């Protein structure tokens, strides 16, 4: 199929669905997909908590152990990567998890896993660590957790879109307490829950 043909009415959506499903199968839909992003998540947690990197997967221990090559006292950090690695990082974090495996022959128009939105040209993920002062409790309870005390919080944005962090206790502003965010990343802190070792099995 040529690029010209893909722009014809009716063909472009199918081509996009196939690419989305293919990309999905390399992450959530593939046993070794998520673990490819574990190293970065553990480095991210180290920066957020200002503590040494604890990782036994694909990180460089020599670089991570040095305050020169991996400082922990900076206000802003910038990392650059390929879109394939970004997809793995999303999956390792628990972002954009789908209720079922994507099928390119029966596309779900309501899916949130869309490559054109997850990794467009110049895609970016921003992780913010915020210190928020205490906020009053609401008069009526709702499905969100309120924060009556001052604390550090984490907020994630993918291509400027605020992420709800459904895997972590959060509020309407997308804020998750730092400790709760770290606890939600057990897949990364456990080095992929045994998935990394599977990379070296021949069967």
pLDDT of residue 161 exceeding 60, the answer is: yes
Mean pLDDT of 181-192: 94
How far, CA to CA in Å, does 11 sit from each of 3, 4, 8, 121? Answer: 10, 10, 6, 22
Q: Which of 72, 78, 175, 82 is nearest to 122 (CA)?
A: 82
Taking the chain, what is the end-to-end CA distance rounded to the nearest angstrom? 35
112 pLDDT band, cuts 50/70/90, is confident
Q: What is the pTM of this model?
A: 0.80
32 pLDDT band, cuts 50/70/90, is confident
Cα separation, 46 vs 188, in Å, equals 12
N residues, the chain: 203
Q: Which residue has the higher pLDDT, 11 or 40?
A: 40
Residues 6+ apart with CB under 8 A from 187: 34, 38, 92, 94, 193
- Per-chain mean pLDDT for the chain: 80
DSSP codes joined into one string, 24-66: HHTTTTSTTTGGGGHHHHHHHHHHHHT------SSS-HHHHT-
pLDDT of residue 50 exceeding 60, the answer is: yes
Cα separation, 24 vs 91, in Å, equals 9
């Amino acid at each position: 199929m040529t690029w010209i043909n893909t722009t014809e009415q009716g063909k472009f959506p199918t081509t996009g669905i196939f690419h989305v499903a293919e990309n999905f199968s390399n992450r959530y839909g593939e046993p070794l997909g998520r673990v490819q992003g574990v190293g970065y998540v553990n480095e991210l947690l180290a920066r957020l908590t200002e503590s040494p990197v604890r990782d036994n997967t694909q990180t460089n221990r020599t670089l991570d152990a040095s305050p020169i090559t991996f400082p922990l006292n900076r206000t802003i950090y910038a990392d650059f990567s390929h879109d394939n690695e970004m997809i793995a990082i999303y999956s390792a974090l628990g972002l954009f998890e789908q209720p079922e495996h994507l099928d390119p022959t029966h596309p779900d128009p309501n899916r949130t896993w869309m490559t054109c939105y997850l990794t467009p040209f110049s895609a970016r993920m921003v992780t913010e660590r915020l210190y928020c002062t205490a906020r009053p409790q609401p008069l009526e309870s709702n499905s969100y957790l309120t924060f009556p005390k001052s604390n550090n919080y984490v907020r994630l944005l993918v291509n400027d879109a605020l992420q709800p962090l459904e895997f972590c206790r959060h509020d309407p502003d997308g804020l998750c307490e730092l400790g709760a965010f770290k606890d939600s990343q057990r897949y990364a802190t456990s080095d992929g829950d045994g998935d990394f070792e599977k990379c070296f099995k021949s069967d």
